Amino acid sequence: PQLTNIRRDQSFITWLVAINQASREHFILKTIKWRMQLQIEIDPGKPLGQRAKLLEPTAQEQPQILARKEPIPPNAMVKPNANDAQVLMWRPETGKPVVVIPPKL
Q: Which stretches in the chain have pLDDT values below 70? A: 1, 82, 105
Q: What is the pLDDT of residue 93?
A: 79
Rounded CA separation 58/73 (Å): 32
Rounded CA separation 79/94 (Å): 39
The reported pTM is 0.62
Q: What is the pLDDT of residue 27?
A: 95
Q: What domain range is 9 assigned to?
A: 5-101
Q: What is the pLDDT of residue 18?
A: 96
- Per the structure, how many domains does the chain have? 1
